[in-house]
Chains A and B, each alone.
Chain A
Amino acid sequence: MLFFKKNITMVKFKKSDLDYFFENTLKKHNVDLGNYAQASLERRIERFFSLYHFENLLDLTNKLIENNQFFDLFIKEITVNTTEMFRDPLCWKSIREEVIPELKDLPSIRIWHAGCSSGEEVFSMAILLKEEGVLDKAKIVASDLNKDIIETAKKGSYSLKTIEINEENYFASGGKNQLSDYYTKVDNTYLMNQSLLENVRFLKHDLSTGGIFSKFDIIICRNVLIYFNKDLQEKVFSLYQNSLFKKGFVIIGKKESMAYYSNARMYNIVNESENIYRLK
């Protein structure tokens, strides 16, 4: 299998244990962790060791093989789910001003949030589409490999601690109303209006092994690819290209880059600093 040729080494773990770990998580759970960016994966596994009191990778791997629920927990802990609404507001401003106008006249606007995490960007997009008058004709898919986090996204209930930054971002992104028009405060949380999710379908999909399942006008995947190595990034960019309608948009994180993608020339740059690309 592919990962054996890669000669992955990590400081903290034995090579043979790592091979066993990557092989079995792929075989049993169909997640290709061998193609994740190593430095952060190593760190996240180490963190998991200390949180759940593991001392060696073989024990951990064996438990991951035999216990699906434990694997879900593991994935939840090693993946990074820090996110905000309208994070990098200028990107959202550009979506509002440069992307949506190009798609406004289509009979439907199909959007894929790839790696949707706890859903903040799904709500951000729905709010933006609503304010631009096109939410009704949007067909949105929000996917993640972690099914627990998908449940969090569906609920749309967030800690009040995050409200300040989200409101700042919303205004900076060109929001036309008040963010509070879209949520209700409940105890220490704020609950996003469920009507925003009317055209959203949530889906468990893993980018490391998952294939094409539909076609879209916009694929938004910000700060997800940074956790993959270059090989897997290539594969995912190729998946995106195959999942886009002609003239569709790909939006990646501010410090991510399409420069290494072998078919990057197939795209025009819509906004260089916000990393918005459009398929030719």
Chain B
Amino acid sequence: MTNLKSKNRVIVIGGSAGSIPVVNAILSGLSKENKIPIIICLHRMKNISSGMDEVFSSKSLLHVIEPHDKEEIKKGGIYLAPSNYHLLIEKNNSFSLSTEELVNYSRPSIDLTLESAAYAYRNNLIGILLTGANKDGAKGMQVIKKMGGITIVQEPTECSVPTMPLAALSLKCIDHKMTTLKIIQYINTL
């Protein structure tokens, strides 16, 4: 699919309504040898500030981290945008947080994470947009495509709410539609 060197690759995943089981399935299906950092931005309930990372960790046996501001992005690290902050990726391979206004009625906004990741990692970035009930993430996927990255949406027929993947597809910026199973297989071949 691509001849990029896998050592520089980064995966960024966005999701909203119905996406938690999908993310869980993906993380549980990851090869133990996975060294690619995975950055996850999900719409979350405000003021539920902890717990989500533990939910992921217990099922996937992988340690999901809610990064602190300026935390370095490490090989094999799995990061979840903290509730009520936007999660941005800096060009020096670290995170910055922001409390600026809601974007697409959301904080964290998937567009913001995807877009900043696209600028930081360009053609080394793989963006995956999952089930969700709004349009957040579509523009971010467009930027990933523009910067040379790879764009994947969850197969809309498999989504509990397909609005989000469909919004991205309508911008004609998506390389692949994949089921959850295909996404897992794809990641494990990288």
CB distance from B52 to the nearest CB of A (A): 14
A233, B96: Cα distance in complex, Å? 12
Verify B100–A82 contact, CB threshold 8 A: yes
Verify B70–A82 contact, CB threshold 8 A: no
Verify A226–B97 contact, CB threshold 8 A: yes
State whether the Cβ of A263 lies closer than 8 Å to any Cβ in chain B.
no
Verify A80–B99 contact, CB threshold 8 A: yes
CB distance from B12 to the nearest CB of A (A): 13
The residue that B96 contacts in the complex, of A9, A39, A259, with Cβ under 8 A, is A39
Main secondary structure of the interface of A (DSSP, over half): loop
Given known pairs A40-B88, A255-B68, A255-B69, the reply for A80 and B100 (CB within 8 Å) is yes
Verify A256–B116 contact, CB threshold 8 A: no
A57, B66: Cα distance in complex, Å? 35
Verify B66–A40 contact, CB threshold 8 A: no
Verify B66–A255 contact, CB threshold 8 A: yes
- Chain A residues with Cβ under 8 A from B188's Cβ? none
CB distance from B44 to the nearest CB of A (A): 14
Verify A39–B90 contact, CB threshold 8 A: yes
A230, B91: Cα distance in complex, Å? 13
A107, B53: Cα distance in complex, Å? 44
The residue that A38 contacts in the complex, of B91, B99, B100, with Cβ under 8 A, is B91
The residue that B90 contacts in the complex, of A37, A80, A260, with Cβ under 8 A, is A37
Verify B99–A226 contact, CB threshold 8 A: yes
Q: Which of A54-108 contact B (CB under 8 A)?
A: 80, 82-83, 88
The residue that A39 contacts in the complex, of B67, B82, B89, B101, with Cβ under 8 A, is B89
Given known pairs A39-B90, A39-B119, A233-B70, the reply for A254 and B96 (CB within 8 Å) is no
A259, B91: Cα distance in complex, Å? 20
Verify A39–B88 contact, CB threshold 8 A: yes
Which of A37, A80, A227, A257 has the most chain B CB within a 10 Å cutoff?
Answer: A37
**Nearest chain B residue, comparing its CB with the CB of A227:** B98
Verify A82–B69 contact, CB threshold 8 A: no
CB distance from A15 to the nearest CB of B (A): 13
Given known pairs A38-B90, A39-B116, A260-B70, the reply for A255 and B85 (CB within 8 Å) is yes
A263, B16: Cα distance in complex, Å? 40
Given known pairs A39-B89, A40-B88, A82-B99, the reply for A11 and B70 (CB within 8 Å) is no
CB distance from B46 to the nearest CB of A (A): 9
Given known pairs A255-B66, A259-B68, the reply for A40 and B100 (CB within 8 Å) is yes
**Nearest chain B residue, comparing its CB with the CB of A254:** B49
A183, B70: Cα distance in complex, Å? 38
State whether the Cβ of A238 lies closer than 8 Å to any Cβ in chain B.
no
Additional pairs, 8, CB under 8 Å, beyond known A226-B69, A255-B97, A256-B97? A38-B96, A39-B89, A80-B101, A225-B69, A233-B70, A253-B69, A255-B68, A255-B69
Interface CB pairs A-B, < 8 A, 24: A11-B119, A39-B88, A39-B91, A39-B96, A39-B119, A40-B86, A40-B88, A40-B98, A40-B100, A42-B119, A82-B99, A83-B99, A88-B49, A223-B99, A225-B69, A227-B98, A233-B70, A254-B49, A255-B67, A256-B68, A256-B69, A257-B69, A259-B68, A260-B70
